[in-house]
Structure 1
Amino acid sequence: MKLDAPVTGGPCWTELGTSDLESAKRFYGTLFGWRSETDPRQEAGGYTIAHLGDAPVAALAPLYQESQPVAWNVSFAVSDADATARLVQETGGKVLVGPMDVFDVGRFVVALDPGGAAFQLWQPRTFPGAGVFNAPGALGWVELLTRDPARARDFYATLFGWTVSVSEHYTQWQVGGADFGGMITMDDKFPHEVPPHWLPYFAVEDVDAAAATATGAAGTVLMEPTSVPEGPRIAVLRDPQGAMFGVYRAADEK
């Protein structure tokens, strides 16, 4: 079973911080068929929501601070952002931003886990998160890349109540019995300058075609299309501004 809607403790949203919003709109529109709408309010700072049909699926936004990297960020739904932010600190993480209200749509926190991977908390009010999951062009999986997997397991289990399933090939996260993500240990194959991070994966109909489309739109293939043992066909891509993300074949995930 996979998540098909936002649930407390699970990923509910993903958003891109980019150095070139217009270029990002074009790239992801070409790759995923997204229709982007930028919030016209000055105080929204150019925040743009991407849609598949009428369903919101992700956000694109300018960089709001000089220190902010070009990157995709993953938000997890919580019932109380303030209480969860306190728990982040009590369990060895760090709160970078918030808790803060975002208009009337929700309450928001940016945090780091003990290994240094950034993630976000979202306490929904009028906006619960993505309107569709696991369909072509939509978020379907999130993956933590970390250099300290044991500490990460303890931290996220305490914070969100996740359970863990470990196989010969992979570590998976579940919430409420539903799989939604996994974890990879960053070994010597990862350059030292690459920090721990959360990587969103978007569903596509054809991974090889998506990789070719990304390359044709000035993106880069970081990991060539690969069929995972007992898993889906996947690839890892980078957009023209440098943000990394994954794609997987939607038909492989049930």
Structure 2
Amino acid sequence: MRNPFLHGVGGVLSADIAVPEHERELRFYSKVLTTGSTPLWQDDLTNNQGTPVIGLGARTPEYEALPLQWMPHIQVSDVAASAERTLELGGQELIHAKGDDGQSQWAVLVDPSGATFGVVPAADDDPDRSNRSDRIGCISWLSLVVSDVSSMCEFYEQVVGWSAAPADKEGGIEMRRPDGIAAAEICPKNDENERIPSVWILSLPVGDFDESLRQVRDSGGEIVKEETEARHAVIKDPVGVYIALQDGN
């Protein structure tokens, strides 16, 4: 079973990014994501149930150090331990927020391949949310393209508690939560995906896939890779950020 958007260790709670040209970016994503007769997303980029899933913020001086890429927030059992292990394995710590008591609240980390991600405390289980089969307007998948798959798998096993298992795609590895549910995929760089950088690619479901791709082109974006049969496409937005669209039907 694949489902990154679940509560608990190894699950993805949300994702965000701080961008230049914020108003332009907001217009772009509002057009691209809110397609179809029953859109899965609202103009404010919450899902159609009003739940915050992705956040598009302005690139203020406070966030200038953050790489220009979408950042998934992965739930972990111990934020401080994940940050410490990241540094030991050759990654970086960009932000580490702590409370007045000195306890870690969340952190922004970078893996050795250059992919940025956040770690947050694991949320309590929510049976009503976890058992939803449709997960309307939620992150549908995460993928990372790297030169050295095995070392990146080991990194995320130690930092966020995932475990590795062979994926359907040749050479790809599924990264699974402790409960066995697949949350992401790490893929080898090859001729087919050479244009995709080593950043976490969020796949977001859309109501009208073809119309969303048209909006990408018309709004200053670019389609980097399209899988026609799978109804999936990696795109680049007007400021050069990569993300993927998935047919939500």
Q: Tell me the TM-score normalised to structure 1 length.
A: 0.77
Task: Give the share of equivalent positions with the same residue, in percent.
Answer: 23
Q: Deviations over 1:183-205 (max 9, x none)?
A: 122246636xx752111110123
Equivalent of 2:46, from 41, 47, 50? 50
- The equivalent residue for 1:212 is 214
Distance in 1 of aligned mates of 2:33 and 2:186: 25
The alignment yields a C-alpha RMSD, in angstroms, of 2.9
Q: Answer yes or no: is 1:83 the counterpart of 2:81.
A: yes
Q: Answer yes or no: is 1:200 the counterpart of 2:202.
A: yes
Equivalent of 1:241, from 220, 233, 239? 239
Q: How does 1:1-254 map to 2 (within 5 A)?
A: 1-3=1-3, 4-33=5-34, 34-35=41-42, 50-63=46-59, 64-101=62-99, 107-123=105-121, 135=135, 137-166=137-166, 167=168, 169=170, 170-175=172-177, 176-187=179-190, 190=194, 195-227=197-229, 232-251=230-249
SS in 1 for 2:150: helix
SS in 1 for 2:142: strand
Say if 2:47 and 2:138, in contact at 8 Å, map to a contact too: no
SS in 2 for 1:202: strand
- The equivalent residue for 1:45 is none
Say if 1:136 and 1:202, in contact at 8 Å, map to a contact too: no
Say if 1:101 and 1:108, in contact at 8 Å, map to a contact too: no
Distance in 1 of aligned mates of 2:204 and 2:134: 7
What amino acid maps onto 2:114 in structure 1? G
Q: How many residues align?
A: 228
SS in 2 for 1:6: coil
What amino acid maps onto 2:92 in structure 1? K
SS in 2 for 1:116: coil
Q: Which runs of 5+ in 2 are unaligned?
A: 35-40
Say if 2:147 and 2:188, in contact at 8 Å, map to a contact too: yes
SS in 2 for 1:55: coil
Q: 1:101 to 1:190 in 2, by over 3 A?
A: farther
Say if 1:9 and 1:161, in contact at 8 Å, map to a contact too: yes
Distance in 1 of aligned mates of 2:122 and 2:42: 23
Say if 1:208 and 1:225, in contact at 8 Å, map to a contact too: no
Say if 1:32 and 1:137, in contact at 8 Å, map to a contact too: no
How far apart are residue 149 of structure 1 and its match? 0.9
SS in 1 for 2:114: coil
Say if 1:81 and 1:99, in contact at 8 Å, map to a contact too: no
Q: 1:219 to 1:59 in 2, by over 3 A?
A: same
What amino acid maps onto 1:120 in structure 2? G
Say if 1:19 and 1:70, in contact at 8 Å, map to a contact too: no
Say if 2:83 and 2:159, in contact at 8 Å, map to a contact too: no
Q: Tell me the TM-score normalised to structure 2 length.
A: 0.78
SS in 1 for 2:220: coil
